[in-house]
Amino acid sequence: MELERIDDNTWEIPRHGEMKVPARIFASRKLLESVRGDSTLEQAENVACLPGIQRMSYVMPDAHQGYGFPIGGVAAFDLEEGIISPGGVGYDINCGVRLLRTDFTEKDVAGKRKELLAEIFKEVPAGIGKGGVTKLSVGVLKEILVKGAQWAVENGYGMADDLRMTEEEGRMKDADGSRVSPRAMERGIPQLGTLGSGNHFLEIQKVDRIFDPETAHIFGVDGEGQILVMIHCGSRGLGHQVASDYIQSMEGAYGVTGLPDRELIHAPIHSAMGREYYRSMCAAVNYAFANRQMIAHWVRDVFKKVLGSSRGMGQIYDVCHNVAKIETHAVGGREKELCVHRKGATRSFGPGRKELPEAYRSVGQPVIIPGSMGTASYLLAGTVEAEALSFSSTAHGAGRIMSRHEAVRRFRGEQIRDDLAKKGIELRSTNWKGVAEEASAAYKDVDEVVRVSDEVGLGRLVARVVPIGVMKG
Amino acid sequence: MERYRILPHTADGKFRAFGATREEAFANAALAAASLMWDWWAIRTVQSHPVAVQGRDLEQLLYKFLEEIIYLFDAKNFLLGGVEDLKIEDGGENFRLSAVFWGDEAGGRYEIFGAVKAVTYNEMKIELGCGGWTIQVVVDM
């Protein structure tokens, strides 16, 4: 495939054939190699062919091939002529990350690390097929789909401040739970308040390096050695079923002829089907916000129990990695409302955006980028430049480079646990095969991903954190 | 005849399932999907769930059929151990599939080592060759 070099970290597939806009890839030469190794670029081209796409089809530095849209794909569509696509959001709707700060330092937790992790492991349900602690009624679930994290706070999980420090304040207001299928709800009822499995995790981390002390301070990160907690999970079976239901319904309504890839199925945003998917997706987003809100609450309880206090455990932020949102951006010199699809990408609003909590409006939003298991994660800040570069978006993680199958062939979960222990990282899991699948060697180098994000200006480096305790589902 | 083969895939699970008939290939695809989550052959076949799905084409029929396994696991805690009486009808506008899933409830008895989140159409193939039917599926994990 022909790629035009724009600069060291920016590449372009010029418009050709059916493409309505060019595709732009943010990657270093090193990252580009792995991007070229799978069908990421073809998928970015396919996205560029969709009706009403604006500016460009974007590919983030951690991209890899997905279904329909690439993972790490960002595309925005005109609200009149454009489309919305379940494949542009992904199956795990509002898979995302929440980051909590603490007043504790590495020294405070030194002797208690094992106990902290063991207690979290006890309190937070995780793993495949593990139900939550709460048995929900359909009525309560419907309320959660509408109210998101706000429901959780009203019911004693966490604090009102947490909502301010969550994208959309933990509740997408366009949510409508009435079109979420009974089947999606049946899958969602036993899973609320659970971490799940796969790449989802919960980490106790310490701040390893601060790049920008002033911004870090505004985010609540005050010094190296400070303890943070990161929670990475999504909307579980409910979100997966919503995606799958609407892929099927859209096929019924629009057929599949002419689609280069069946997962690119879409509906006009203004159509009844498009609106219905959007509202149901918002409901799944809310489920995920509530899910992370409950888990954060249990983590605080554990800190209180083990360390005597959960003081200072405010929320730095909570970001979505798989979502479609209506946002205002400049296109062709004028502001317009668009439907921005981010699939495996993080919003990175810069200073001044009205959507941000007041505390962050001067520096831009916290962008939370988890690394692979046992490696560093990063806290970045959104930038003004990102608006013009990528509709205010950046990477979401490390991105896989090795199959699960291959990882299991090469690594053993128990060995990984022992290796991490030697590096001072405690690991607990319900599933050692799952640990092997998530071996850090199966992922891209997250340091390289965030370096590119920072150099290009998609999101700038604020702090690097490393795990001291990891819980895997 | 080999029932199925698990193939490498960067992010997710991929398999090919085989059968002398379409029905046999579909049943083997169900076992292949289950094999990414648990050892289906170790599951006692003490519970049954009838399955009936419709699809606009064979691909959608397969997608919905495999999704039943995920749904029954998430919502009913059911582990698939075998497929019986699988029938596919081409009825006018739609394809119809019926089958009986046999298996057991999850619990301490069985190890569950993988989670299939969703079926996908990515690289999906349903083909009749000279050696019989081959089905290829990528699932989201």
Predicted pLDDT at B56 = 92
Q: Identify all chain B residues contacting A189, using CB atoms and an 8 Å cutoff.
A: 75
Summarised one tens digit per residue, pLDDT across range A190-199 is 999 888 887 8
A201 HSE (CA, 13 A, CB side):
29
Interval A105-125 mean pLDDT: 92
Q: A436 lies in a domain? A: no
- How far apart (Å, rounded) are the C-alpha atoms in residues A207 and A220? 11
- How far apart (Å, rounded) are the C-alpha atoms in residues A234 and A201? 11
Whether the CB of A191 is below 8 Å from some CB of chain B: the reply is yes
- Burial of A430 by CB count in 10 Å (0-12 exposed, 13-18 middle, 19+ buried)? buried
A108 HSE (CA, 13 A, CB side):
17
- Residue A77 maps to which CATH number? 3.90.1860.10
Phi first, then psi, for residue A329 (nearest 5°) are -140, 160
- How far apart (Å, rounded) are the C-alpha atoms in residues B30 and B116? 12
Q: A20 lies in a domain? A: yes
What Rg do the C-alpha atoms of chain B give, in angstroms? Answer: 14
Interval A32-53 mean pLDDT: 94
Q: A77 lies in a domain? A: yes
Interval A270-298 mean pLDDT: 97
* Residues in contact with A358: Cβ distance below 8 Å, sequence separation at least 6, in sequence order: none
pLDDT of A44 above 70? yes
Q: How many domains does chain A have?
A: 1
Give me B40's structure tokens.
Answer: 């289906």
Lowest-confidence segment of A50-64, A104-118, A399-413, A451-465 by average pLDDT: A399-413
Q: How confident is the model at residue A311 (pLDDT cuts 50, 70, 90)?
A: confident
- How far apart (Å, rounded) are the C-alpha atoms in residues B20 and B7? 21
The average confidence (pLDDT) of chain A is 94
Residue percentage of chain A with pLDDT more than 90: 83
Q: How confident is the model at residue A92 (pLDDT cuts 50, 70, 90)?
A: very high
Residue of B nearest to A238 (CA): B74
Q: Which of B7, B11, B56 minimises the CB distance to A400?
A: B11
Q: Identify all chain A residues contacting B115, using CB atoms and an 8 Å cutoff.
A: 128-129, 196-198
* CB-based contact A431:A387 (threshold 8 Å): no
Q: Which of B4, B6, B10, B71 to mutate to test the interface with A (most CBs of A within 10 A)?
A: B10
DSSP-derived 3-state class of residue B85: strand
Lowest-confidence segment of A99-103, A149-153, A407-411 by average pLDDT: A407-411
Count chain A–chain B contacts defined by CB atoms under 8 A.
105
Pairing of strands A57-64, A23-26: parallel
Catalytic-labelled residue, pool A240, A270, A396, A405:
A396
Summarised one tens digit per residue, pLDDT across range A402-459 is 888 888 889 999 999 999 999 999 999 888 888 998 888 888 889 999 999 999 999 9
Q: Which of B63, B113, B117 minimises the CB distance to A92?
A: B117
Q: How confident is the model at residue A288 (pLDDT cuts 50, 70, 90)?
A: very high
pLDDT of A134 above 70? no
Interval A377-405 mean pLDDT: 93
- State how far residue B117 is from chain A, nearest Cα, in angstroms: 6
Q: How confident is the model at residue A119 (pLDDT cuts 50, 70, 90)?
A: very high
Lowest-confidence segment of A70-84, A117-131, A246-260 by average pLDDT: A117-131
Q: How confident is the model at residue A130 (pLDDT cuts 50, 70, 90)?
A: low
Q: A258 lies in a domain? A: yes
Q: Which of B71, B120, B122 minimises the CB distance to A187?
A: B71
- How far apart (Å, rounded) are the C-alpha atoms in residues B110 and B113? 10
Q: Please list, residue by residue across B86-112, b when 16 or more beta carbons sit within 10 angstroms of its beta carbon and e when fewer do.
A: bebeeeeeebebebebbbbebeeebeb
Pairing of strands A426-429, A459-472: parallel
Interval A160-168 mean pLDDT: 97
Predicted pLDDT at B60 = 95
Q: Identify all chain A residues contacting B71, using CB atoms and an 8 Å cutoff.
A: 183, 186-187, 241
Q: At what angle do helices A272-307 and A113-123 cross, to 10 degrees?
A: 140
Q: Identify all chain B residues contacting A95, using CB atoms and an 8 Å cutoff.
A: none
Q: A415 lies in a domain? A: no
Interval A164-178 mean pLDDT: 97
Give me B56's structure tokens.
Answer: 């606009």
What Rg do the C-alpha atoms of chain A give, in angstroms? Answer: 21
End-to-end CA distance of chain B: 27
Give me A99's structure tokens.
Answer: 């980051």
Under DSSP, the state recorded for B43 is S
Q: Do B141 and A198 touch (CB under 8 A)?
A: yes
Q: At what angle do helices A29-36 and A446-456 cross, to 10 degrees?
A: 120
Residue ranges and CATH numbers for the domains of chain B are 4-135 (3.55.10.10)
Q: Which domain holds residue A370?
A: 4-82+93-401+443-472
- How far apart (Å, rounded) are the C-alpha atoms in residues B35 and B30? 9
SS (H, E, C) chain A: CCCEEEECCEEEECCCCCCCCCEEEECCHHHHHHHHCCCHHHHHHHHHCCCCECCCEEEEEEEECCCCCCEEEEEEEECCCCEECHHHCCCCCCCEEEEEEEEEEHHHHHHHHHHHHHHHHHHCCCCCCCCCCCCCCHHHHHHHHHHCHHHHHHCCCCCHHHHHCCHHHHCCCCCCHHHCCHHHHHHHHHHCCCCCCCCCEEEEEEEEEECCHHHHHHHCCCCCCEEEEEEEECCHHHHHHHHHHHHHHHHHHHCCCCCCCHHHCCEECCCHHHHHHHHHHHHHHHHHHHHHHHHHHHHHHHHHHHHCCCCCCCEEEEEECEEEEEEEEEECCEEEEEEEEEECCEECECCCCCCCCHHHCCCCCEEEECCCCCCCEEEEEEECHHHHHHCCEECCCCCECCCHHHHHHHCCHHHHHHHHHHCCCEEEECCHHHHHHCCHHHECCHHHHHHHHHHHCCEEEEEEEEEEEEEEC
Q: Which of A65, A263, A434 minimises the CB distance to B121?
A: A263
The amino acid that residue A4 corresponds to is E
Q: How confident is the model at residue A51 (pLDDT cuts 50, 70, 90)?
A: very high
End-to-end CA distance of chain A: 39
Lowest-confidence segment of A87-96, A246-255, A304-313, B6-15 by average pLDDT: B6-15
Predicted pLDDT at A431 = 86
Q: A298 lies in a domain? A: yes
Q: Distance between alpha carbon A319 and the CA centroid of its chain, in Å?
A: 6
Q: Which residue has better confidence, A402 or A463? A: A463
Q: A421 lies in a domain? A: no
Predicted pLDDT at A432 = 87
Predicted pLDDT at A133 = 65
Predicted pLDDT at A131 = 67
- How far apart (Å, rounded) are the C-alpha atoms in residues A394 and A382? 9
- State how far residue A436 is from chain B, nearest Cα, in angstroms: 11
ipTM above 0.95, yes or no: no
A396 is a catalytic site residue: yes
Q: A438 lies in a domain? A: no
